[in-house]
Structure formats: C-alpha cells, structure tokens
Structure 1
Amino acid sequence: MKVIRWLLGKLILVLNAVFSPKGIKRNPQDQRQVDEKARSLALYQFEACPFCVKVRRAMKRQSVNVALKDAKNNPQHRAELEQGGGRIKVPCLRIEKNGQTQWMYESSDIVAYLEKEFA
C-alpha cells in the first residue's frame, strides 16, 4: 500500500508540473499589493496530497505567493499546525488578520477564499 501511495503521489506531481495553470498578469504595483496581502497567509501542506495540489494550483492561477509549510517532513511546521489548528490535517491555510489567527482546513473553502480575496 505504501508503494502505491508513493507512485500515485509522484504521478500527481508529474501531471501537475505538465499541466501547470497560468497565473494572472498584473502590473508590478498591483502584484506588490497582492504579495503584501499574501504575507499574512501560510499554507500547511503535504507535497503530493491531491487536495494540497488543488490549492497550490488555485494559488498559481491567482498569482498569489503564499508561504508553503511542509507539515509532513518538517517537525516544526507539523507542531505549529497541531498546536495552532488543533489537528494535523492538510491542506490548512493560516490567516493572520487584525492580530487574530484563523485556521482554514477544507481545500474548497481555501480556494474560494483565495478567489474572493485575490481575484
């Protein structure tokens, strides 16, 4: 079973690389504003998780540069996710706004949030 998961993960990553979406073209000033707004976000994810790939593709379509945190291989990121969000489940978007932190877990909710905030 572990071999099958590994193979499927690699296949997902290859297909994602081959069929990578195009991002929005913005003028440099608008892109700087988007980048500044995205600094308050972090995506906790596993590299080959299909739901994480879905979120990363949405980020690429919106040309949003969100910090990626590897919760599978990095013990510090994994601990941050468990302590802050309450569980180790990916994808999880950490949103820091007005001094408060919100943890968003569902990939569809994260994609909708990104489209609303950055479209």
Structure 2
Amino acid sequence: MKFIRIVLGKIILLLNFIFTPRGVKRSEEAQQAANEKANDLTLYQFEACPFCVKVRREMKRQSVDVALKDAKHDEVAREELMSGGGRVKVPCLKITQQGNETWMYESKDIVAYLQKEFA
C-alpha cells in the first residue's frame, strides 16, 4: 500500500509539473498588495498530497506567494500544526489577522478563500 501511495504521489507531482496553471497578471501595485496580504498566510502541506496540490495550483492561478511548511518531514511545522490547529491534517491554511490565528483545513474551503481574497 505504501508503494502505491509513493508511485501515485510521484505521478501527481509529474502531472502538476507538466500542466502547471498560468497565474493572473496584475499591475505592479495590485501584485504588491496581494503579496502583502499573502504574508499573513501559511500553508501546512505534504508535497504529494492531491488536496495540497489542488490548493497550490490555486495559489499559482491567483499569483500568490504563500509560505509553505512541510508537515510531513518538518517536526517543528508538524508541532505548530498540532498545537495551533488541533490536529495534523493537511492541507491547512493558517490565516493571521491582527494577531488572531484562524486554521482552515478543507481544500475546497481554502480554494474558495483564495478566490475570494485574491481574484
């Protein structure tokens, strides 16, 4: 079973590389505003997780540079995810606004949030 997961993960990453979406084109000022907004976001993810790939593709479509943390191989990131969000489940978007942290777990919700905030 682990072997199948590894193979499927590599296939997902390959297809993602081949069919990478194009990002939106913004004016320099609009892109700078989007980058400032993105500074408040952190995505906890696994590299080959299909739901994480879905979220990263949406980030690419929206031309947003969100900080990525690998919760699979980085113990510090894994502990942050557990202590902040309450569970180790990916993808998880940490939204920090005015000192308050919100942890969003579902890929569908994360994609909708990115579309609402950056489209």
Alignment of 1:65 with 2:62, yes or no, is no
TM-score, structure 1 as length reference: 0.99
TM-superposed deviation, 1:38: 0.3
Structure 1 stretches of at least 4 aligned residues deviating more than 4 Å after TM superposition: none
**Aligned equivalents of 1:2, 1:112: Cα separation in 2:** 31
Where do residues 12-27 of structure 1 align in structure 2 (5 Å cutoff)? Answer: 12-27=12-27
- 1:56 aligned partner, one-letter code: R
Alignment of 1:44 with 2:44, yes or no, is yes
**Aligned equivalents of 1:90, 1:2: Cα separation in 2:** 18
How many residue pairs are counted as aligned between the two chains? 119
- 2:88 aligned partner, one-letter code: I
Q: Give the root-mean-square deviation of aligned CA atoms.
A: 0.5
Where do residues 1-119 of structure 1 align in structure 2 (5 Å cutoff)? Answer: 1-119=1-119
Unaligned runs of 5+ in 1: none
TM-superposed deviation, 1:21: 0.3
- 2:58 aligned partner, one-letter code: A
Unaligned runs of 5+ in 2: none
**Aligned equivalents of 1:27, 1:97: Cα separation in 2:** 25
TM-superposed deviation, 1:104: 0.1
**Aligned equivalents of 1:68, 1:28: Cα separation in 2:** 23
TM-superposed deviation, 1:98: 1.8
**Aligned equivalents of 1:37, 1:55: Cα separation in 2:** 17
TM-score, structure 2 as length reference: 0.99
TM-superposed deviation, 1:27: 1.4
